[in-house]
Structure formats: C-alpha cells, structure tokens
Structure 1
C-alpha cells in the first residue's frame, strides 16, 4: 500500500493535470487502488531532483489496463514514454480523447483498442412509478446473488467481469453511496437485473451500472430498470444524468439512445497493434 504522503502527491499531480487539461486523469478504480492492497496493481513514479512527483503510472493486471499522467510543466521530456515502458505491454487509457493523447499514442506506436462513450441527457421531473419487481438492494440478502448476476451479465467485459466482493464493499462504504439508489429487480428465481445510480457532489446524476441477467433479457427489463433509476435521481434533485458505455456494446448504446441520451465525450484505450499474422 502507498503511504499517505505518496497518495497525496499523486492526487496533487492529478489535480494539476486536471486543471491544465480540463479532464481528470485517473478513473474511480485507479483512485480506489491508491489506498488498497491489491496485489494486481503496480505503481511507477518519475521524480525530479527535489523529489517532486513529475509523473505517475498505475498498471492493473486484473483489468489488463494502465493509466499514466505527467505534470503539465514537464511534458515532452520523455517521462510518459519511460513510464509506459516500465509498465510493459499494458494498454493505456486516455480520458477525454485529447489531441495530446493522440500524439502520445502515435509517437509510441499505439493504436485504439477500445472506446468508452459518455452519454448524457436532461432529467424529467419525477413521477409516481409502481413496479413491484424493482426494489432497493439489500446487502444482507442480495450480495452473493448480485455478484453472480454481475459476473454473468458482464462476462464479456474486461473490468466489470472481475467486480469482486471487496469492490462492492468499498463502494458501499463510500460517501456517495445511497441505499435507495441501488435498485434490483427480481422474479420467483431471484435477482434478474440491477440499476445502481450515483449522485455526484455537484448534483449530476449517473447511471453507475445497469445490467440484466441472461434469463431476463429481451423482455424490456433494462428499459424498466433505467426508468426507475432515472426517476430516483430526479427525486434527489438531479437535473442531468450521464453514463459510460462501451462503443462496441451496440445493444446498450441503442437502449440509451432511445431513452434520450446523446454522446458528449469519449475515452480511448490505446495499446500495441496486433501481432502480424504468422500464417503464410
């Protein structure tokens, strides 16, 4: 685990990068990992002559991705490239898909591997909803079933498929967690889906995680869960809501598009190009 002093240095560096780029350079998983004992996470640092932190990189072997940042006053000095090489062949997230990220990727012979869309819409005023199959999550009775359902629903996803009991407990204990905003759907056999919402300190709402289990797909459950979560966020005073969705997940993108969401932003994962085919 990193010391408190080092964590504060990384967060100060991230704040400087965010101020310059208008884009925060570490996602939620990376921020949680700063204070965790996850053996799959590695940290790399570049320091100046006075021990100032000039660059930082974090590799997550469990997710197979990395994140790196360099102080705005020390860019174009090879720091990012050295950090990239220290991490090995892990693909690297570029939040905001900025021009600087394109140039860095090109200079290091990286290509786009994934694209994460950020979609947004205004929220309608809350209404009375009556859906007896949807209720708040109960940590005492739903935890194991939720973890199984999440793994089934996101078996294809590089990060969410590995969402663990520790990941869940960490988020349930975070300041933003709202028990009434974590909704699950059920049938006679158990959990069928869930919509975990998030209200940000500035009042924005977020579709944090939305999923339906394999046996409940194709029945309009995703649309119902989405509506219930959006209504909850509106009841909490949120006027806008956003979400993150894989561009390749066309089914989900279409669901959100039909619900009035529009793409406002994107993050890109850059990695080494595919190996040339060995076949003649």
Structure 2
C-alpha cells in the first residue's frame, strides 16, 4: 500500500477526487461504481457515515469506501481504481467496513452491538461475484434495473385520473415536509426510500437534474396527498437518445386500492415522453413480485441488476437491505 488509509470527512477537493475515481472505474467497467446516495453523502460529516480513502504515490485517490450506518444495516459501498486492483486494496476497505459495522452506536448504550453489514455491487460483474465469494460473502438481495421504450408504437397513452384525485406539480418550499411525510407513509417498509428526510430532499433538489415539474402530486378531495411520482432526467445525455427514470412512485396506505399507482405511473411515462425521453427506466427489488408484474404489464423488461452481499454468517439474519453501491477490486 503506497499510502495509509485516511478516515474522516472529505474536503471539497477530495470529494472531487472521489468523483474522478468513480468516473475512471465507470469508464473501465461500463457501469457506475457508486450510486446516487453515496455521491450525495460525499460532503456529509455525520456520526452515521464513515468515509475511508486510499491515495496513490502522487496523492491521487485510488480507492474509496463509504459506510452508512443510518438505517437498520451498515451499508458499505467501495470502489478501487482499475489500475490499482488485485493489490489488496479492496480487501483492506472491506475489512474496514466490517470493523465499522461492528462499532456500537454513538449513543454509548451498553446493549448496542453494531449492525449487520451489507455491501452492494453494481452491474453484477463477474469480478465482484468472485471477490465476494472468495471472502465468504453471500448474495442476499437483487435490485433490478428495468426499461421500456417511449417512442413510436411504444409511446405511452395519456393518463386518466381516478375519481376524486387532482394532479398538480410539486411546489418547492411549500410541499417539502408534506411530501417527506407522504413518502415515509408510502415506503414505511422500504430500507432506503422510507427514511428520506427533508435534508435528503433538499440535497436532491440542489442537483442539476431536479425539476419540480417532474414531481407530480396526487391530491385527494380533502386536500391531503394521496400519492406522488417523481421522475428524473439526467442532464448529461444526447438530445436524441435520453433515458428518463421513474425515480419514486408511492401511494399513501390510506389511498391504496383506487388505481392511483397505475395512474401515477402513466403520468410519469407520459411526462417523460413529452420531455423528449426515448426510454423509461426504473429500479425495483427482485423479490417484489407484485411490482414486477405491474411493470411487466406496462412494457418494462429487465436491463441490468445490482447485487447486495452479506457475510455468510449473517446472510440470513433477517435484516433489510440498503441502497445500491460500489464495486470491489
């Protein structure tokens, strides 16, 4: 190892270095090594988030690990520069994640024993599968990436609202807390989406892709929010070949059974097509049979998969998963 492991908050220049590291890995592997949440977390200095960095001889970032212990599990994401793989760097970072996951919570309570560790790999690459197997890790979750065309005969029909539902777009500053509360209700059992905070919302609103007109709210007759659909169109795409993501669609438990989810999905698809997108994409858990059936009827098919691993001794402890993340060496 050419330099020791650096653990602690990342200065702005170091955050940029990690982004450059991730870009180099993506160019080599054909898939991004870090998901949205860890990239948003690069500037976070919080007791629940650990940043670990390895530098090369020239001081450049050659490997990065992030552990987020804010949920029910410790979610680890790591990436190693292609030129520095197979030198033990990934193993060093994985060991760091294992130790970090075992740390008691910062509350100091004597009965706190840390959290189960989960590690994500994008793209289900053979190298990641081999790395996990060699270190005694077992596959515990799959996150499927689905896609459907939006052009020609595949253009989505105009949506038809259920009775009593009014559709409007999100109003930044006015709807922030109400949307977060709706999202928490709709995703109460989801390990990532359900724990989004107002601060998490604001970090996403500060991203270049955010457009309030792409976040629709389904409002009931009494003025309460019954559901929402959020779409995302990344800005770094060619105009004639653009993906639009069904970023999050949720319905309040009190409003389920009225066709609101299907209506909102149609709203999102129609909006993405109107914005010039040629393909719609989304993520869904591989064991969510109901959602998979719904999306299959809407024309979505499997395009890729992210995989989550856990140490074999803890692979069946019943803890939920966490957000998609990085790649091993």
Cα 1:42–1:118 change in 2 (3 A) is: same
- In structure 1, which of residues 137, 143, 148 is the aligned counterpart of residue 176 of structure 2? 143
Contact kept, 8 Å, 1:181 with 1:196, in 2: the verdict is yes
TM-score, with normalisation over the residues of structure 1?
Answer: 0.93
What does residue 68 of structure 1 align with? 78
User: Matches of 1:38 and 1:183 in 2, distance apart?
Assistant: 31
What does residue 311 of structure 2 align with? 272
Cα 1:257–1:276 change in 2 (3 A) is: closer
> CA shift at 1:149, angstroms?
1.5
Contact kept, 8 Å, 1:111 with 1:272, in 2: the verdict is yes
Contact kept, 8 Å, 1:92 with 1:270, in 2: the verdict is yes
Unaligned stretches of 5+ residues in structure 1 = none
Aligned pairs for 1:72-221 within 5 A:
72-88=82-98, 89=101, 90-123=117-150, 124-125=154-155, 129=159, 131=161, 133-189=166-222, 190-201=224-235, 202=237, 203-221=242-260
State yes or no: 1:41 paired with 2:74: no
Please say which of residues 101-110 and 38-47 is displaced more in the overlay: 38-47
TM-score, with normalisation over the residues of structure 2?
Answer: 0.80
User: Matches of 1:128 and 1:16 in 2, distance apart?
Assistant: 41
Q: Structure 1, residues 10-41: CA drift from partner, whole Å, max 9, x if none?
A: 11211111111001101111111112333321
> CA shift at 1:276, angstroms?
9.7
Equivalences, count: 277
1:156 is paired with a residue whose SS is coil
> CA shift at 1:244, angstroms?
0.6
Cα 1:77–1:276 change in 2 (3 A) is: closer
- In structure 1, which of residues 244, 247, 268 is the aligned counterpart of residue 283 of structure 2? 244
> CA shift at 1:116, angstroms?
0.3
Cα 1:126–1:263 change in 2 (3 A) is: closer
Cα 1:128–1:105 change in 2 (3 A) is: closer
Greater relative contact order (Cα < 8 A, sep 6+): 2
